[in-house]
Amino acid sequence: MTGTGNSGQQWRPDVLGHNYECMDLPLNDDDEGPVKATLVRHAPALEDTAPHGILDFLTTFVKRRHRTPHETDGAPKVVLYLHGWADYFLQTELAEYLTASGFLFYAVDLRKFGRSLLPGQTPGYASDLSVYDEDLAVALREIERDVAARTNNHVPPTIHVIAHSLGGLIAALWADRNPGTVGTLVLNSPWLELQGSSLVRSIAMHLVEPFARTDPKRPFRFPEMPAYWESVSNEAHGEWMLDPVWRPRASFPIRAGWTKAVLAGHAAVERKLNIDAPVLVLLSGRTRIQAEWTADLMRADAVIDVEETSRRALGLARRTAVFRYPGALHDVFLSRRTVRQQAYRDVAVWLAAYPY
C-alpha cells in the first residue's frame, strides 16, 4: 500500500516489516535546525486483517466482533499510539490486535525520538511539552487524509489515543488544551507525578530552575538505571528487540530544560485537568524501582509510583477508569504474554463502549 499522501510525503516500508509503513512529517525548524515527526501505520491487505499468525492468542470474543476498517458505519475508528521517554513505536502485537478488532492503527514517533531523531539533535529534548502540539496536529491531519483514501469514507474519523509514560503526560496535557479532538484517551502507565511526591517535585523544581534558565541543555549526572531495559530487551531478560540508538540501555541524558518542562506538566496535573473525553488508565499492581536487575522486576513497574499515579489519574477527567494489572511491567503492553493479552482485551472492549 505504499504511496504518496496528500501532504506530498511518501509512505515507505517501516523497520517493523510486513504491513508496516512510515511517513516523515516535516515540522517547523527549531534552534537545532530541521525537525520532523514520523507517522507509522499498520496497513495490512484486506485479506490479512483476520486474526492469524502471531495473533493466534486472540479470543473468540475478538473473532466474533471482527470487522475490517472498510466495514465501518459512520465515522471510521482510529487508534493513534504515542510512545514514552527514550522510546519509539514497536508494539506490533497491540497494533495487530486492534486492527483485528476493527480499528485503523497509527503511531507517531515525536520529534527527536526514534524514527524522528536526526543527526545533531539532542535526543528527546524539549523545553516545553506543548511543543508536541505541532507534532500531533500534523499527524492528525495526515491520518484524516489517509483514512479517507483507505476507506473511501470522508466522515472525519474518531480518534482514540493510546499513550505511554511520558507520552501519557504529553497526551493528557494536549487533550486538556484541545477539547473535542479525541474520542477517548488510554494512558498506559502515564508519568503523572515525579517519583516520590509533590513535595519532592517542588524541591526539584527550585534546584533545576537556575540551570534551566542559564544552561537548559546541561545534562545532569545520575546513576544508570538499566534494570527496566533488562526486563524488556531480548538481549537480557525480556522478549522485545530494541533499537540501541532509539531505546538505549542507559536511556537519554536528563537535561535541565527538559526536567523543568516535565515538572511543570506534573504541576498542571496536580492542579487537575478537565479532559472532555473518557480516560482509561492502565497500571501495574505495584512499583519496584532499583538499579540492579532482579527477577522480581519482571512483575512490577520499575519506573513510576503506581499508587501516586492512580490518585493523580482521578483528577484528569470527569469520566476516568483505572485498571490494575498485577505482574505488569511499566509498559503494560510489553509485559509477559498473559498480562498483555488481558490488557489488549480490556482496551478493545473499553474502546468499543465509546463508539462516538
Instruction: Identify the residue with better confidence: 94 or 210.
Output: 94
Reported residue count of the chain is 356
The pLDDT of residue 15 is 98
**Which triple of cell numbers denotes residue 267?**
504541576
The pLDDT of residue 63 is 42
Residue 304's pLDDT band, with cuts at 50, 70 and 90, is: very high
Residue 65's pLDDT band, with cuts at 50, 70 and 90, is: very low
Question: What single letter denotes the amino acid at residue 345?
Answer: R
Give the orientation angle of helix 198-214 with respect to helix 256-270, to 10 degrees.
Answer: 140
Mean pLDDT (the chain, rounded):
89
The secondary structure element, H or E, covering residue 166 is helix 166-177
Per-residue pLDDT tens for 169-178? 999 999 999 9
298 by Cβ neighbours in 10 Å (0-12 / 13-18 / 19+) ranks as middle
pTM, two decimal places: 0.90
The pLDDT of residue 246 is 98
The pLDDT of residue 234 is 97
39 by Cβ neighbours in 10 Å (0-12 / 13-18 / 19+) ranks as buried
Is residue 1 predicted with pLDDT exceeding 90?
no
The pLDDT of residue 201 is 59
Residue whose C-alpha is closest to residue 215's, from 252, 253, 254, 256: 256
